[in-house]
Structures are given as C-alpha cells and as structure tokens.
Structure 1
C-alpha cells in the first residue's frame, strides 16, 4: 500500500465528487421527510469547512493541504479532524507539522491490515500552545514510532501504544503569539 502522488485535477475532481455526494445525501433525507438528519448533515459539512478556514487562518497551510488531500493519497485510511482554535500565529510550525504527520502515516501505512477499519484522528488545538493529538486505531502494540530526534519545534509524548490504538501528542515548544 503505497501512497500515490496526486494532481490538482484529481483534487478538484475528488472535491466535486464529494460535494455532489453530500448534496445528494441532503436531498435524499429531505425527500424522505427526515429534516433533522438533513440539518445534521448540513452542520457536519459546515463544520468541516470551518475547520479548513480555521487551519488556514492560524497559518497551517501546508498541513491543511495535507489533511484535505489525505483521502486521495491514503485511500485505505479514514481521517477524522477536529480543531479547537483560540490563538493564531502557528505559521512557523506548519512545515514541521506537515512533515511529522506525513512521516508518521508513511511509516504505518505499509503495516495496515486490510480486514480492520483504519481511522486516523488528528485534533489540532491552539490555546496557549499549539498541540496536536494524533491517534490511529488498530493493533499497534509491536510498533514504536515516536521519534523526537532533531525536532526543534515540538515535544512528542507517547500517550498510548496498546492493542486497539496508538496515540501521541505533539506540543509546540513555544507559546503562540
């Protein structure tokens, strides 16, 4: 399972396909008289758009691009993103964060087991410090990835490495401005 390189056309095609699928799902719920389900879908899609703009606004442009193209690049995994944005000024962390996320996924991707649903969860929080909680489900007990050698912008902390999940946190070494 190797990640593939993607073109701008593929990204746009994928985005349009998702957009149409989302609109059809809302329309189907409305046609079936399921108003609350349609409203919930609209809230969910609106939240995803807000997260996109939040990440751009705090300066994580490359990281945001990586997250947005994740489903195309790493088709055997599902990505769930959450954001809690209070402070801005995270631009200096962007390249390092993008690299860490990509390096981590590239290291686990060949180890994915096809019979299990593989979910990568990324929660980006910018309160006083930029913090990123990363969790992947699956049996990762024999796997140890955490490597903070040479990383001058983030501290890495292993939170869990057991059957069922691998979880670690990145914490910026300096406060956000």
Structure 2
C-alpha cells in the first residue's frame, strides 16, 4: 500500500532494488545462453529510465516526483510509463496536481481486489502550451466513488468501463 511521500532514503533503496533486479534478469538470460533476451532486457530497462528522465521537461517537479515514484508507492500495480514532452511554462499549481493525484490514488487503493494483478499505464504528453496526464488502470475496482472537484486551474476527466478506469488530468 502507498505512503503519502517517500523519503530520499526510501527512494534510493527502491531504485537500487529495481536496478539490481534488472541486472539479475540480464545475468539470468546470459547464463541461459539467451543473448537476444538479455539485450532486450537491457533495452527495456534503458527505455524505462529514459521515460522517467523525460518527466523533467514537464516543469512540474511535485507531479514528476509523484509519477516517478508511483510504482514504489502503489505496489499493487504493474506500471508502464510513456512520455512525449516538450519543454514549456505550465500555468498550474504543481503541488495541487500532485496532491490531487495522491488523494485520488489513496482512494483507489481501497477499491483493489488483492487477488487480481492490476496494470497501470501512465502517459504524459506536453507541448509548449498544454499538458495532459492519462492514467489507465486495468482491473476491477469495487464501488468506485465520484472524483473530487478540482479548484486549482486544471481539468479532470474520468472514464469507467468494465475492468478499466481512466483518469485524464490536463491544463496549460
């Protein structure tokens, strides 16, 4: 289950753990005589790191931190991040966006079925004039409540289908 915020020590510990897991996977493929799978694991790991690194262009450090640590804070989700971001000045209260996301996902955690493997896809897109964060959760959510109202200069949309929930946050 998630915490409200990670300490620097927590983040370093999670980061080391993830890095060592990736190295172990590559080593396993090498030991099994599967160099193409080892190469693919390396390319996947470097792409994942590149996506997180690209978040810095968003210009919303609190939101960047929330997205970057999502998989550590909300361990029930297998997470995939995708970013297409142009630098720009964002006209939004960054802390309000990050706080909204944290609040929504503290509620979402309570709706998860512990026996199900959930997938979370986070897509961040930004041009020089606007930005958008799409978070798609695949898996059953029990009695999903309505989203809280937004008062801080960004827009929120929600899509609910059977075993799929999508949150879109956007702004200028």
Would the TM-score normalized by the shorter structure come out above 0.5? yes
Q: Distance in 2 between matches of 1:135 and 1:45?
A: 21
Q: Is the 8 A contact 1:4 1:74 kept in 2?
A: no
Greater mean deviation of Cα atoms: 68-77 or 2-11: 2-11
Alignment of 1:55-70 (within 5 A): 55-70=55-70
SS, match of residue 104 in structure 2? helix
Alignment of 1:82-97 (within 5 A): 82-90=82-90, 92=92, 94-97=94-97
Count of aligned pairs: 171
- Name the counterpart of 1:150: 151
Q: Is the 8 A contact 2:51 2:83 kept in 1?
A: yes
Matched, 1:53 2:78: no
Q: Distance in 1 between matches of 2:11 and 2:167?
A: 29
Q: Distance in 2 between matches of 1:150 and 1:5?
A: 23
Gaps of 5+ in 2: none
Q: Distance in 1 between matches of 2:21 and 2:70?
A: 18
- Name the counterpart of 1:99: 99
RMSD: 2.3
- Name the counterpart of 1:116: 116
SS, match of residue 168 in structure 2? strand
Q: CA deviation at 1:126?
A: 0.7
Q: Distance in 2 between matches of 1:107 and 1:74?
A: 12
- Name the counterpart of 2:166: 167
SS, match of residue 139 in structure 1? coil
Q: Is the 8 A contact 2:83 2:123 kept in 1?
A: yes
- Name the counterpart of 2:7: 7
- Name the counterpart of 2:44: 44
